[in-house]
Chains A and B, each alone.
Chain A
């Protein structure tokens, strides 16, 4: 017996419609899931290739969806298809993904401690506002977009899958082909960068 780990009725309905090849269902699914799929693809290949890969994956899905049994959620399943296709492509092009996993602290943050490991330049901001209130600040939201755009692809994809898509660590490791400890470091570093960004923004009003 296969137990559906994500008994989301809307998702089940969508999957059934996809299995019947209904065009409206595909349009809906493409709009809902492509952003995440692109994030996965961009981890492995450059942005122009990423779009092509996601396109090809959707065409594959037209047939493959019939074999979807719902053991994982639809989103995870789609992300795995994209990851596998990218990995195959990398294997033929012999490209390597390089990421710096050595340090747990961003250099800019590291420089704020003194030799004995205490804060020399302590955090300046009072972060009393809730995240929602902060997000209503359009300028900060734009600034966040900009900084996310500047993150190394590896960190950005890890962040998007883990934070925005709420994937479990195991799934992210599997999709991005990284160890649990490397994933932790990518998340650390990305969050630290966002922290530094918000701090500067609140202090100076500049991005």
Chain B
């Protein structure tokens, strides 16, 4: 039988629907009987949604500005000499 510790190890796969039918059923069976694991899965799912909603890939505007400056410069060379890239 699936134990709580083992379930915690595959909880992410369960949430993402990556488990095969047999494994998924044994997780569901366990969840029916174990409120701690129900709580854990719920928490992990909410954590995942939290991450999804949180724009974790934000960068500072100064970095974007530096990159833009660089690209603008490269572009201006390009337009001065339109045949150079062919």
Interface, chain A (partner B; CB < 8 A): 21, 23, 26-27, 30-31, 34-36, 38-39, 51, 54-55, 58-59, 62-63, 104-105, 109-110, 113, 116-119, 122-123, 125-127, 129-132, 134-135, 141, 144-145, 148, 156, 159-160, 163-166, 184, 187-188, 191-192, 194-195, 198-199
Q: Are A59 and B57 neighbours in the complex by a CB distance under 8 Å?
A: no
Q: Are B39 and A104 neighbours in the complex by a CB distance under 8 Å?
A: no
Q: How far is the CA of A153 from the CA of B74 in the complex (A)?
A: 30
Interface, chain B (partner A; CB < 8 A): 3-6, 8-13, 16, 18, 36-37, 39-40, 42-44, 46-59, 63-64, 66-68, 70-72, 74-75, 78-79, 85
Q: B66 touches which one: A39, A55, A130, A187 (CB < 8 A)? A: A55
Q: List 11 A-B contacts (CB under 8 A).
A: A34-B59, A35-B58, A39-B57, A51-B66, A117-B5, A118-B5, A127-B46, A163-B48, A164-B57, A184-B12, A195-B47
Q: How far is the CA of A145 from the CA of B79 in the complex (A)?
A: 41
Minimum CB–CB distance from B47 to chain A (whole Å) comes to: 4
Most buried by A among B10, B40, B78: B40
Q: How far is the CA of A118 from the CA of B40 in the complex (A)?
A: 12
Q: Are B67 and A54 neighbours in the complex by a CB distance under 8 Å?
A: yes
Looking across the interface, which residue of chain B has its beta carbon closest to that of A188? Answer: B12
Per DSSP, chain B at the interface is helix
Q: How far is the CA of A31 from the CA of B53 in the complex (A)?
A: 19
Looking across the interface, which residue of chain B has its beta carbon closest to that of A36? Answer: B57
Minimum CB–CB distance from A176 to chain B (whole Å) comes to: 14
Given A134-B46, A148-B56, are A122 and B63 also a contact pair (CB < 8 Å)? no
Minimum CB–CB distance from A30 to chain B (whole Å) comes to: 5
Q: Are B52 and A163 neighbours in the complex by a CB distance under 8 Å?
A: yes
Q: Are B50 and A104 neighbours in the complex by a CB distance under 8 Å?
A: no
Minimum CB–CB distance from B2 to chain A (whole Å) comes to: 9
Q: Are A192 and B64 neighbours in the complex by a CB distance under 8 Å?
A: no
Given A30-B71, A62-B74, A131-B50, are A118 and B4 also a contact pair (CB < 8 Å)? yes
Looking across the interface, which residue of chain B has its beta carbon closest to that of A190? Answer: B51
Given A62-B75, A144-B54, are A30 and B64 also a contact pair (CB < 8 Å)? yes
